[in-house]
Structure 1
Amino acid sequence: MKTIKISMLALTLAFMSFNVLPTKTVTTKIEKETSLIIWKSEQIDLGEIPQNKPKSIDFEFKNTGKTAVIITNVKASCGCTATDYTKTPIQPGQTAKVTATYNAAAKGAFTKTVTVTTNAEVTPKVLSFKGTVI
């Protein structure tokens, strides 16, 4: 009888140690960050372009936000592409552009990218252009 009481006591203590406490639900509000920049086109097909004649490609965008957008960096995917961009702050409602100038030295199909970093987007925007050098 004593062993049964000890067993019951041990069993009771075991169940008490696995007591289920009410859980607290934590709700986190995640706001979707919307881009302040609307690009006219993120990919441009140039079609056929002549060899040894540099071709300029303009990527235009509009600042649709409430604060100024500043382009902090523009980087081409290769040395065959030069870049230029608006250096002054782009105010809300204004448009601006990033220009890539491709030196079409080698014949054949190509695809190139230009990466644009701004204060408006966490992730840099990758713009691309393609075509065939004839």
Structure 2
Amino acid sequence: MKKVFLVLTLAAAVSFTSCKDNNAANKVKSENVAKAEQRDEAAKKLPVMTFEETEYDFGNIPQGQSVEKVFKFKNTGDAPLIVTSAKSSCGCTIPQKPEEPVAPGETGEILVKYNGSGRNQVTKTVTITANTEKGTEQLRIKAFVEPKEAAAGQPKA
């Protein structure tokens, strides 16, 4: 009984494998391989966002005085740079991102406006989301906000 089962199993295995074309390499088209290589090379090309400076100190400003800073950057990568969003750490800081892609070798700007709210030393962060390798970049602004009473020369209560 065991021999019959073994013979039937071997016969089934031979019949299932003998009908197949085992040479899968013959089915691969060289033009598809070339397209895949080009696609893989293109995927390796990424933009690089290189800032002139990533932090700016406004120094002493009176409370409520709006200030702004333009952060300049250059795309030092090999693909167009697309800034998808620019968000600040609070509502008192408003960043404005470029709307158009920045080509390799070209420059762009991000305008950051701060409304002067708060008191004493403040630090605000702007997070930029782009199609770079890291995916995000950070900018930072600082200021010492002088309370209105001190700015007007009035003594504090």
Match of 1:15 in 2: none
- Structure having greater relative contact order (Cα 8 Å, sep ≥ 6): 1
Give per-residue Cα distances to partners, 1:35-56, cap 9 Å, x unaligned: 7111111111111122212111
Q: CA deviation at 1:96?
A: 0.6
Give per-residue Cα distances to partners, 1:18-63, cap 9 Å, x unaligned: xxxxxxxxxxxxxxx9871111111111111222121112111000
Q: CA deviation at 1:133?
A: 1.2
Matched positions, count: 102
> Do structure 1's residue 112 and structure 2's residue 118 form an aligned pair?
no
**% of aligned pairs identical?**
35
| 1:36 partner amino acid | V
Q: Which consecutive residues of structure 2, in runs of 5 or more, have no partner in the other structure?
A: 1-44, 147-157
Q: CA deviation at 1:107?
A: 2.6
> Do structure 1's residue 52 and structure 2's residue 64 form an aligned pair?
yes
Over 4 Å off, 4+ runs? none
Q: Per residue, is there more strand in 1 or in 2?
A: 1
TM-score by length of 1: 0.70
Q: Per residue, is there more helix in 1 or in 2?
A: 2
**SS of corresponding position for 1:100:** strand
**Aligned partner of 2:98 among 86, 110, 117:** 86
Q: Which consecutive residues of structure 1, in runs of 5 or more, have no partner in the other structure?
A: 1-32
- Aligned CA-pair RMSD: 1.8
